[in-house]
Amino acid sequence: MNAGASKSRAETGLWLAQRLAAGVLAVAVVVHLGVIITAIQGGLSAAEIIGRLRGNTAWFAFYLVFAAAAAIHAPIGLRTILGEMTPLPPRLIGLLMAGFGLLLALMGWQAIYGLYAFRPLE
Amino acid sequence: MMKGHRDHPAYWAFAVHRLSGLVLALFLPVHFYFLGRAIKGAAALDGVIAWTDNPLAKVAEAGLVILLTAHLTGGVRLLAVEFLPWRDWQKTLIVLTGGLSLGAGLLFLINAV
Amino acid sequence: MTAMLEVSVWRGREEGAFVSYAVPARRSQTVLDVITHIQRRLDASLSYRFACRVGMCGSCAMTVNGKPQWTCRAPVSEVAPSGKLTIQPLRNLKVIKDLSVDMTTFFDKWARAGGAFKPALGRPTAGVGGDFAAVKPASRARRAADAAIECIGCGVCYAACDVAAWNRDYLGPAALNRAWSLVNDVRDGARRERLAAIAGDAGCYACHSQQGCTEHCPKHLNPTASIAGLKRASAWAWLTGKP
């Protein structure tokens, strides 16, 4: 396969991945907005956030998928913006965005796992 | 005033989608970082929450909610444009996305204050 | 005394300046009439391009009061009710002189997008060396091809597109629209190559559905919908491994 064809295959794959992630996010964000707006009634507290997630496998799974979808979706979008609006070389943008996606996934999962497996220290 | 060739609803929708996407992408690591602090105990997370308890932060948070809703509704519109048979009532859809976003922001503010 | 139009016209190439002309206002006057008046009565050195004057040839497109459009069927009374006109060459294309742009890249991109019909030899529908192709007018593919087929190649969509401005290699709405009409042509045999040609980072996936093309197309075509069709077709080919 020549370089042009593999490049066009990569673009197709990225486009499809971003749209699939968008589909997941469309549902997840509606849930997230619902949680935000109900959670802030009467003030927000760490205990409330932890209370919802701690030991709750359904919420845990939901947030894992949510964070993964965001970690796929956001870097592909940023890649397009950087490609169109900065003079950075495409290869560098690709590397940076792969790193950004990985960072997002790890940070997100770490935070979610922390809340799910929360053990009070104090 | 937008340049002549940009002065139409689908372009405004694009501009909102790009701007909201950019801000949300940059906000994500911050969001995850502060949530991650819960591992260090509830007090650390409560510290962050207390910090956001001033009017300016509340307005910024409402802004994020508006951007998130705008990106959500605008994104659903784009999925419809790309994957479904063409619809000519798109302009109505664009207005709807704007309305829903502002509505969500307002709902947030009403509940937050 | 007749009312006068205040017309500001771009003179020069990439470097240049606006020059003002006073042109008498007439009934049923088009923007092309205004430019022709300037060239014939006021300044014979003005360069511009036109041929048919009736919206068929696609050669007279320019930027009028900030918007790309054909000039032959643009009534001054609608485009500039105030009587003030600013006329520039089309955006995103190299200016040759004054209001004439070099359309070479525009049409080269048609070729790069697989814009040429390649008959599917040996297929009963080929229409080459055999019977005429039998294509039912009401069939889905034929109607999809029809929707995209009336393009006159005027370049208005290309000038209206920000992606074309941001990504110099972007094939653009017209070339992709052409590719879509051929993808829907059952007599065509180059589907695989065409889908590969339009899927790169300069192809259909670069489109953000800003719809400047659709908004400004004088023939009321919808390149955004055509490009969305290409996105789906090439993604489907990617997923299934067949064109």
Q: What HEC string does C55-85 produce?
A: CCCCCCEEEECCEEEECCCCEHHHHCCCCEE
Query: pLDDT at position B95, please?
Result: 77
**What is the CATH classification number for the domain harbouring C177?**
1.10.1060.10
Query: pLDDT at position B4, please?
Result: 87
Domain range A18-116, CATH class: mainly alpha
**Do C101 and C156 contact (CB within 8 A), yes or no?**
no
C residues 155-194 closer than 8 Å to A (CB): 163, 166-167
Q: Does B88 touch chain C (CB under 8 A)?
A: no
Q: What HEC string does C110-176 produce?
A: HHHCCCCCCECCCCCCCCCCCCCCCCCCCCHHHHHHHHHHCCCCCCHHHHHCHHHHHCCCCCCHHHH
Average pLDDT of the residues in C114-128 = 71
C residues 101-160 closer than 8 Å to B (CB): 159-160
Report which secondary-structure segment, H or E, holds C197: helix C191-197
Task: Mutate one of C211, C220, C221 to test the B interface: name it (highest B CB count within 10 A).
Answer: C211
Q: Does A72 touch chain B (CB under 8 A)?
A: no
The pLDDT-based confidence of C101 (bands split at 50, 70, 90) is very high
C26 and C145, same domain (yes or no): no
Query: pLDDT at position B1, please?
Result: 44
CB atoms B75 and A26 under 8 Å = yes
Least Cα distance to C175 among C163, C186, C192 occurs for C163
Question: Around Cβ C224, how many Cβ atoms within 10 Å?
Answer: 27
Average pLDDT of the residues in B36-57 = 79
C115 and C216, same domain (yes or no): yes
Cα A108 to chain centroid, rounded: 7
C211 and C126, same domain (yes or no): yes
Average pLDDT of the residues in C159-180 = 96
Task: Mark which of C100, C119, C135 sits at the end of a domain.
Answer: C100
C159 and C172, same domain (yes or no): yes
CB atoms B49 and A46 under 8 Å = yes
d(CA A103, CA C234): 31
Query: pLDDT at position A112, please?
Result: 94
**Do C10 and C16 contact (CB within 8 A), yes or no?**
yes
Examine the pLDDT at C124 and tell me if it is beyond 70: no
Cα B8 to chain centroid, rounded: 21
Query: pLDDT at position A40, please?
Result: 78
Q: What HEC string does B56-72 produce?
A: HHHHHHHHHHHHHHHHH
Domain ranges of chain A: 18-116
How many independent structural domains does chain C possess?
2
C138 and C213, same domain (yes or no): yes
Chain C: partners with 3+ C-beta pairs within 8 Å: A, B
Examine the pLDDT at C95 and tell me if it is beyond 90: yes
Average pLDDT of the residues in C160-176 = 96
Domains, in order of start, for chain B: 18-112 (1.20.1300.10)
C91 and C124, same domain (yes or no): no
d(CA B43, CA B41): 5
Query: pLDDT at position A43, please?
Result: 75
Query: pLDDT at position B85, please?
Result: 77
d(CA C214, CA C86): 23
CB atoms C203 and A5 under 8 Å = no
Least Cα distance to C154 among C96, C73, C76 occurs for C73
C83 and C23, same domain (yes or no): yes
Predicted-complex ipTM score:
0.90
Least Cα distance to C143 among B83, B89, B90, B86 occurs for B86
- What is the per-residue DSSP string for C9-54? EEEESSSEEEEEEEEE--TT-BHHHHHHHIIIII-TT-----S-SS
CB atoms B28 and A41 under 8 Å = no
Q: Does B5 touch chain C (CB under 8 A)?
A: yes
- Closest Cβ opposite residue A46 in set B29, B46, B72: B46
Average pLDDT of the residues in C190-194 = 92
pLDDT tens profile C35-75: 999 999 999 999 999 999 999 999 999 999 999 999 999 99
C17 and C49, same domain (yes or no): yes
Expressed as residue numbers, the domain containing C142 is 104-240
d(CA B12, CA A122): 51
Examine the pLDDT at C24 and tell me if it is beyond 60: yes
Average pLDDT of the residues in C136-156 = 91
C206 and C109, same domain (yes or no): yes
- Closest Cβ opposite residue B39 in set A67, A74, A114: A114
Query: pLDDT at position B113, please?
Result: 62
Q: Residue A17's beta-bridge partner residues?
A: none
A to B CB pairs, distance under 8 Å? 101
d(CA C52, CA B3): 30
The position carrying tokens 């890249």 is: C105
The pLDDT-based confidence of C147 (bands split at 50, 70, 90) is confident
Position with higher pLDDT, C187 vs C37: C37
- Chain C nearest C-alpha distance from B96 (Å): 17
Task: Mark which of C100, C132, C151 sits at the end of a domain.
Answer: C100
Q: What is this structure's pTM?
A: 0.91
C122 and C233, same domain (yes or no): yes
Q: Residue C5's beta-bridge partner residues?
A: C23
B to C CB pairs, distance under 8 Å? 51
Examine the pLDDT at C144 and tell me if it is beyond 90: no
Q: Compare all CA atoms of chain B with the CA of A85 and give the residue at the minimum distance.
A: B18
Least Cα distance to C80 among C154, C152, C3 occurs for C3
Q: Residue C10's beta-bridge partner residues?
A: C18
Query: pLDDT at position A1, please?
Result: 39
Q: Which residues are CB-contacts of C71 (< 8 A; sequence separation ≥ 6)?
A: C30, C31, C32, C35, C50, C60, C61, C62, C64, C87
Query: pLDDT at position A120, please?
Result: 66
Task: Mark which of C51, C70, C100 sits at the end of a domain.
Answer: C100
The pLDDT-based confidence of B3 (bands split at 50, 70, 90) is confident
Query: pLDDT at position B36, please?
Result: 86
- Chain C nearest C-alpha distance from B105 (Å): 25
d(CA C201, CA B106): 39
Spans in chain A with pLDDT lower than 70:
1-5, 120-122
**What is the CATH classification number for the domain harbouring C89?**
3.10.20.30
For the record, the structure tokens of B39 come out as 């591992």
